[in-house]
Structure 1
Amino acid sequence: MNGTVVVITGALGALGRSVAELALARGARVAGIDHAQAEIPASDDRIELGGVDLSDAEQAKTALDSVAAHFGSLDALINIAGAFTFETVADGDDAAWQKMHALNVLTALHASRAAIPHLVRSKTGRIVNIGAMGALQAGAGMGPYAASKSGVHRLTEALAAEWKGKITVNAVLPSTIDTAANRAAMPKAEFDKWVTPQEIAEVVLFLASEAASGVTGALIPVAGRV
């Protein structure tokens, strides 16, 4: 990935950090975008844009245009920004559904729309979204989250069809990710069966690479050892 410009949304989360570190190790130039405040100063191979609400279309466009201006190009967009909630349908309200739609679907939609003009100019334009295994068949309490991630899956397929031959668009569908937050939330779970951020990062960066030029519209499960 030497010299490839990779944009990662949700870059300051556990998965975002793993993808960024692996991309940098492989020679990519990395731009991280996050709602949290940026942590490091800009350099020749890395910038962070903090305080960005990607559920707002104008903020997304400003951020993606800034990245393209800084590096002079944009080759791959990796949409990791998102959130999770556990709430049953009967006991919940509309707010959780609206929040999941905004943070999981609209963030990916707006970042993708803003990136497309730049990606079309790249010889290897790539979009990689993060879907969810849990959206393939929702369990109890998973309604708002699963519905929103199913939206990400359909967005992936629609974009892949619309931009076939110009940009590849795929999604990675993790099962439970082995993070400190998930361990704290599920202390009795079998952590060794969970998929690690590093394992997901490998699949994500394959899809963002030239080697994946023939793959588009795919929803790829990354299910660990469950």
Structure 2
Amino acid sequence: MNGKVIVITGASGALGKVVVEAALARGSKIAAIDHAATTIPATADQLHLGGVDLSDADQALKTINAAAAHFGRLDALINIAGAFSFETVAEGDPKTWQRLYAINVLTALNASRAAIPHLTTSGEGRIVNIGAMGALQAGAGMGPYAASKAGVHRLTEALAAELKGKVTVNAVLPSTIDTPANRRDMPQADFSKWVTPDELANVILFLASDEASAVTGALLPVSGRV
């Protein structure tokens, strides 16, 4: 992946940080986008764009175009921006459904739409989305999250069909990721069975690499040791 220009959304999160570092270690140039503000200065290899609401199509377009202008091209987009909430249908807040749809689906949709012209020009364009194993069959309390991640799955499939032969589009479907937040929320769980951010980053970057040129439309489970 040496020299490839990769846009990573949700770059300051637990998974995003690991993917950024892993991509840089492989010689990639990174445009790191996040909703959180940043003061990290731009360099030849890194551009940090903070305070961006990717659920807003205009902001997404402006930000993706700024990344392309900085590096001269884009080769891959990794849509990590997302959120989780555990609420039952009967007792939860309907606004949670709207919030998770905006953060999980619209961010990926808007970033992808903005990046398509640049990725098509690249000739080796890649889009990698983050789905969820929990969206394949939702359990109690998983309704709003699973519904939004199922939307990411369908977005992935539709984009893969529309861009076939031009840009590959795939999604990873992790089970529980071993993050500090998940350990805090599930202290009795067996953490050894969870997927580590490093393991997931390796799969994500494979799908963004030249080696995955024949893979598109895949929803790839990354289930750890469950």
1:139 corresponds to: 139
- Three-state SS of the structure 2 residue aligned to 1:51 is coil
Aligned mates of 2:94, 2:58 — CA distance in 1: 25
2:78 corresponds to: 78
Q: Name whichever of 89-98 and 102-111 sits farther off.
A: 89-98
- Three-state SS of the structure 2 residue aligned to 1:59 is helix
- For the aligned residue pairs, the C-alpha RMSD in angstroms reads 0.6
2:162 corresponds to: 162
- Three-state SS of the structure 2 residue aligned to 1:128 is strand
2:14 corresponds to: 14
Aligned mates of 1:128, 1:93 — CA distance in 2: 30
1:29 corresponds to: 29
Which string of whole-angstrom CA distances, capped at 9 and with x for unpartnered residues, describes residues 150-196 of structure 1? 00000000000000000000000000000011101111110111000
Counterpart of 2:81, as a letter, is A
- Three-state SS of the structure 1 residue aligned to 2:6 is strand
Aligned mates of 1:103, 1:202 — CA distance in 2: 24
Q: Name whichever of 181-190 and 39-48 sits farther off.
A: 39-48
2:198 corresponds to: 198
Instruction: Give the TM-score, by structure 1 length.
Output: 0.99
Shift of residue 93, structure 1, vs aligned partner: 2.6
Aligned mates of 2:64, 2:119 — CA distance in 1: 11
Counterpart of 2:57, as a letter, is A
- Three-state SS of the structure 2 residue aligned to 1:111 is helix
- Three-state SS of the structure 2 residue aligned to 1:84 is coil
Shift of residue 41, structure 1, vs aligned partner: 1.1
Structure 1: gaps (5+ residues): none
Aligned mates of 2:122, 2:151 — CA distance in 1: 27
Aligned mates of 1:83, 1:5 — CA distance in 2: 25
Aligned mates of 1:39, 1:17 — CA distance in 2: 16
Aligned mates of 1:168, 1:38 — CA distance in 2: 30
1:1-226 alignment, distance < 5 Å: 1-226=1-226
Structure 2: gaps (5+ residues): none
Counterpart of 1:90, as a letter, is A
Shift of residue 222, structure 1, vs aligned partner: 0.4
Which string of whole-angstrom CA distances, capped at 9 and with x for unpartnered residues, describes residues 36-86 of structure 1? 012521111011100000000000000000000000000000000000000
Identity rate of aligned residues, in percent? 73
- Three-state SS of the structure 2 residue aligned to 1:172 is strand
Aligned mates of 1:115, 1:143 — CA distance in 2: 30
Aligned mates of 2:147, 2:184 — CA distance in 1: 25
Counterpart of 1:51, as a letter, is G
Runs of 4+ in 1 over 2 A off after TM superposition: none
Aligned mates of 2:88, 2:2 — CA distance in 1: 46
Aligned mates of 1:119, 1:66 — CA distance in 2: 14
Which string of whole-angstrom CA distances, capped at 9 and with x for unpartnered residues, describes residues 112-167 of structure 1? 00000100000210000000000000000000000000000000000000000000
